[in-house]
Amino acid sequence: MQAVILVGGEGTRLRPLTYGTPKPMVPLFGVPFLERMLVRLRDAGVDHVILAAGYMPRAIEDAFGDGSRLGLKLTYVVESSPLGTAGAIKNVAEYIEDTFFVLNGDVLTSLDLRAMVAFHRERGGAGVLHAIRVDDPSAFGCIVRDEEKRIGSFVEKPRRDEAPTDEVNAGTYLLERSVLDAIPAGRNVSIERETFPALIAAGERLYSYVTNDYWLDVGRPMQYRQAHDDVLDGKLALDFARDPAGATVWAIGAPGVPANVRPPVYVGAGTTIDPGAVVGPYAVLGADCSIDAGAHVRFAVLWDGVRIEHGARVSEAIVASNVHVGREAVVEHGAVVGHDARIEPGTVLEPDARVAAPGRVPTEAVS
């Protein structure tokens, strides 16, 4: 079976983390988010993945090559200009042979893909859309379906009090190749706003596959950090046994936890924590980090190679790779610090601060 992953976005909502790092390569517990998606697809029986790329495609290809390391065949197709969700799928049409998955590249979910295939084979039709129930559908596209789960219409971002249903599009599709015929070539096309409604109007059968699985769009800093907290809480299972050796997960109540660690905490290989520092709860430290005496790291995600000096505080924050946080500095309350930045000693960042090293900011991002 084949799958298309839409990885063409620039990750503007995650800046400055995505200055120099394409969004699919942002780590989830030290492993690129895209790699965790690829492994999940492989385990569901997918053997060929087509990556519809756009922003920094070379970094993705350098990381995964032909896919053999993961037991997959990978094909890279780069958009010269943004084509939208359906346009990106049409752009890879020459590689699609039969029924195929489509996945948004920033959705984290526990969806059982094999069960979704079984549902599609039972119902038939042009395709199946994964749907979940949410408390507030106003930020999503609502899927209106009948008792047989056949979709009748879509309502994009309705007012909360006017939403026709609490079931929303969760961004994973299983489609027949014939769907490609409904997508015009060479222009920006939205599959949610244009292609799916056109298929329904033409009498094609699309079905909604509604589940209660874990689901989160990790394309914003707060949600990205929340994903780590949710894994530490056991809301979503990750198979850490497959990750590079040397990392440690300290769960609540686990034996042998150092006195200065407040679980749950994840510590990457090669990371050192001074006995006089306090780490946790809900701290995720990448590989080769260094936490000095008197420092406190909690409710935070640190990438690889981060140095936290004496007395510094990092809380409710994300810190990208090779950042140096000086003595007594405070990085808290939604702060996001990009690669290679230096936070000078004694600095107190404003809430929701965005800090990027000067050499990391692309020219087009400077206003």
- Judge whether 238 lies within some domain: no
Tokens of 35: 């790699």
Q: How far is CA 94 from CA 102, 105, 337, in A?
A: 15, 21, 41
Is 129 contained in some domain?
yes
171 Rama class: left (phi>0) / alpha (psi -120 to 50) / beta: left
Domain membership of residue 226 (yes or no) is no
Structure-block tokens of residue 280: 């946790």
Q: What residues make up the domain containing 265?
A: 244-365
Same-domain pairing of 297 and 176: no
Q: Let me know if residue 15 belongs to a domain.
A: yes
Q: Domain check: are 251 and 336 in the same one?
A: yes
Q: Average pLDDT of the chain?
A: 91
* Pairing of β 100-104 and β 167-175: antiparallel
Cβ neighbours around 346 below 10 Å, total: 12
Query: Which pLDDT tens digit goes with each residue over 82-116?
Result: 888 899 999 999 999 999 999 998 899 999 999 99
Q: 108-143 pLDDT, tens per residue?
A: 999 999 999 999 999 999 999 999 988 887 777 888
Query: How many domains are there within the chain?
Result: 2
Q: How far apart are CA 26 and CA 108, in angstroms?
A: 13
Asked, for residue 146, whether it belongs to a domain, the answer is yes
- Burial of 199-213, coded b for 16+ CB within 10 Å and e otherwise, reads bbeeebebbbbbbee
| pTM of the full structure | 0.90
More confident residue, 228 or 141: 228
Are 18 and 133 in the same domain? yes
Expressed in percent and rounded to 5, the helix, strand and coil fractions of the chain are 25, 30, 45
Q: In this structure, what CATH number is given to the domain that contains residue 316?
A: 2.160.10.10
The reply to whether 165 and 287 lie within a common domain is: no
Of 187, 220, 253, the one marking the end of a domain is: 220
Q: Find the CATH number of the domain harbouring 68.
A: 3.90.550.10
